[in-house]
Structure 1
Amino acid sequence: MNISPRTVPDIAGEYNLIDSGNEMKLEQIGKYRIVRPAPQAVWTPRLSDTEWNSADATYMRSSSGGGEWKFRNQTSRKFQMLYDNIGFEIKLTDFGHLGLFPEQAHNWQWLREVIRTRMAYTNNANLNVLNLFAYTGGSSLACSQAGAHVVHLDAAKGVVDWARDNAKFSHLHDRPIRWIVDDALKFVAREARRNNRYHGIILDPPSFGRGPKGEVFKIENDLIPLLAACKEILANDAAFVLLSCHTPGFTPLTLHNELLEMVGERPGNIESDEMIIAEQDRLSAPGRLLPSGTYARWQGRDVTKPKKAEAKK
């Protein structure tokens, strides 16, 4: 098994992890400082209580499983920002999410690199990507930036519309992106019957979710059948598969083994690791990395190098 190094990507944008600890994280998001839960941050914060208490907004979870925002300063619940050259509309949702997952930035950079390498290898032949559980579209837009044809699928119409707005903000609204509201497994099964194939598949499944018609998804029961179905629509000359999740217990090794079962004997390389967010001083001095989920990703061996031009006779 190849465990990738803890590479800290140099990401340009309006997001910074300022501090973490006591199962919380202090973030700079656009012009606002926001505090949100981070169950993995079991250590002690570096900054003072004064710094933390000066945050513009704090999301507090309740014992009943919900939560609420508490505002110290006037804070917009909806605004735009740039991160890793992608435009995001940030929303302070009732369940604490913002529509941005900065821990995925390392994967976005990898997706761009793999797609551009593949397109150089094939003289810019169409590369079709399916993004399941695609949410607000960070991975979809990264693939589109690299030149891929993308199918973006989520079960919730509201978040698909949110992703479309992000595409407009990123000046990608005229690119070949199909926006689909559907149940992931049902859509994949239909694609198999239609004999449609994809050169890249991205999955970021939730621990629990519901499809548009009430279909239930439980990761412990349904991920393996979904990966088996995805195997049927993975092109023979596929370039990549990216699998990530935020479910406790689904370690890098777990995802690695599940992805290995999916790709079978296909030539290529699988790497797996934790997704991380670096505290803002990490690039200039030793600092802490906040674990924020896990991933495994496979790259087909035949796309690791651009095709060499034939020598002139």
Structure 2
Amino acid sequence: MIKLLSPENWKDYELLDSGNFEKLERFGSQVLIRPEPQAVWDKSLAAEEWAARAQAIFRKEKNDPEKGKWILKKGCREQWQIGYSYKKMNLKLRLGLTSFRHIGVFPEQGDNWDFIYDRISAMKTNRPKVLNLFAYTGGASLAACAAGAEVVHVDSVKPVITWARENMELSGLDGIRWVVEDALKFVKREVRRGNSYQGIILDPPAYGRGADGEKWVLEEHINEMIKQCSELLDEHENFLIMSLYSMGFSSLIGENLIRSAFGNRETLESGELFLADNFGKKLPLGTVLRF
């Protein structure tokens, strides 16, 4: 089933406008302009209004499109906090202006955080185990922890793990296990050990490097990763979420991967994550598969 999934519980985030390969966003009290390769349409607001509203603008380097620098107005903070609430879940996230244009949160993932919280809350298993792979700054880990799960958070970048731990402490949570390692290597070892999890979350990049320089290429490794995860997922109570951000990957590819490894799941949802700006334009931000 193909559908659109957009988060509804953000008070501290707003996509003000999008277009001309950029997006104008409000994160709490600060408004930013960031590049957005899929915003191929025209902006709704005038360029002068974008410039007047924004407190920081990201500009890409000519020689390296993945890196760049922020142009800050007076009074703009390089680090600040926002919140996210759903039912009894109240998360706090520290944001920061990085040289890779990311700031520590992907707002479109809010819908998945709600899904995680609801699935864990409904489980009969006492203290379900959840594995979060390519876990970044930990929004999904925090959602699972807030719902009462025992969480293993895996990422290959140590500073990102430190950032995630800070978010856990800001949110008044505790008990997440932090693992700095290549995700595929960790999963293979868990399979050999005979471990299992009630929930698995995957948010793999298109390209990446493991903690020891291992090379990750989405189209080359995702099939093996999914098959390994099928060995780890508990047979009785379980959920799985896989987000794919590569522009060439449709949700149909994800469906084929999931059904090949896990069989036909009646509860499988497949769709497109998006954020709608204040003028109704829907900005696609990857595909998601979950059951």
Shorter-normalised TM range: over 0.9
Shift of 1:193: 1.5
Unaligned runs of 5+ in 2: none
The equivalent position to 2:20 in structure 1, one of 13, 18, 22, is: 22
Question: Given the alignment of the two structures, is residue 110 of structure 1 paired with residue 119 of structure 2, yes or no?
Answer: no
Structure 2 Cα separation of the partners of residues 67 and 166 of structure 1? 25
> 2:246 aligned with 1:244, yes or no?
no
Structure 1 residue 182: deviation in Å? 0.8
Separation of aligned partners in 2, 1:142 and 1:76: 26
1:207 positional shift: 0.8
TM-score w.r.t. the length of structure 1 is 0.87
2:33 to 32, 35, 53: 35
Q: What displacement does 1:7 show?
A: 4.9
Residue 8 (structure 1) shift:
4.0
Task: Give the whole-Å Cα distance in 2 for the aligned partners of 1:263 and 1:8.
Answer: 26
How far does the alpha carbon of each residue in 1:68-113 deviate from its partner, in whole angstroms, 9 at most, with x for none? Answer: 1112333111111113432111010011000110010111111111
Q: Report the residue type matching 2:281 in the other structure.
A: R
Q: CA deviation at 1:132?
A: 0.2
Q: Alignment partner of 1:269: what SS?
A: coil
1:231-310 mapped onto 2 (5 Å cutoff): 231-265=230-264, 267-280=265-278, 287-298=280-291
Aligned to 1:13: 11
Q: C-alpha separation between the residues in 1 aligned to 2:281 and 2:92?
A: 27
- 8 Å contact kept, 1:260–1:270: no
Query: Is the 2:202–2:243 contact (alpha carbons within 8 Å) kept by the matching residues of 1?
Result: yes
Contact kept, 8 Å, 2:5 with 2:274, in 1: the verdict is no
* Runs of at least 4 residues off by over 6 Å: none
Aligned mates of 2:95, 2:161 — CA distance in 1: 14
Q: Indicate the SS of the match to 1:295.
A: strand
Across the aligned residues of Structure 1 and Structure 2, the Cα RMSD in angstroms comes to: 1.5
The one-letter code sitting in structure 1 at the alignment partner of 2:238 is: A
Alignment partners' CA distance in 1, 2:166 and 2:9: 22
Whole-Å separation in 2 of the counterparts to 1:57 and 1:50: 14
Q: How far apart are the structure 1 equivalents of 2:8 and 2:55?
A: 26
* 8 Å CA contact 1:15, 1:83 repeated in 2: no
Contact map agreement 2:5 2:273 (CA 8 A) in 1: no
The count of aligned residue pairs is 284
Matching residue's letter, 1:104: Q
Amino acid at match of 2:214: E
Q: Note if 1:137 corresponds to 2:138.
A: yes
How do 1:157-196 residues align onto structure 2 when only pairs under 5 Å count?
Answer: 157-172=158-173, 174=174, 176-196=175-195
Q: For residues 7 and 159 of structure 1, do their structure 2 counterparts lie closer, same or farther at Cα, with a shift above 3 Å needed?
A: closer
Q: For the Cα contact (< 8 Å) 1:275–1:294, is it kept in 2?
A: yes
Give the partner amino acid of 1:297. R
Shift of 1:141: 0.6
Partner of 1:224: 223
Larger radius of gyration: 1
Matched, 1:77 2:78: yes
**C-alpha displacement at 1:130, in angstroms?**
0.3
CA distance, structure 1, for counterparts of residue 79 and residue 220 of structure 2: 35
How far apart are the structure 2 equivalents of 1:222 and 1:12? Answer: 33
Q: Cα deviation per residue 1:116-139 (whole Å; 9 max; x = unaligned)? A: 122xxx2x5221110000000011
Contact 1:243 1:259 in 2 (8 A): no
| SS class of match (1:135) | coil
Distance 1:7 1:275 in 2: 5
CA contact (8 A) 2:251 2:289 kept: yes
Percent identical: 42
For 2:249 and 2:165, locate their aligned partners in 1 and report how far apart those are by CA, in whole Å: 30
Query: Which stretch shifts more, 255-264 or 102-111?
Result: 255-264
Which letter does structure 1 place at the counterpart of 2:20?
Answer: N
Q: Deviations over 1:123-175 (max 9, x none)?
A: x5221110000000011111111111110000011101100000011111x2x
Q: Aligned partners of 2:220 and 2:237: how far apart in 1?
A: 26
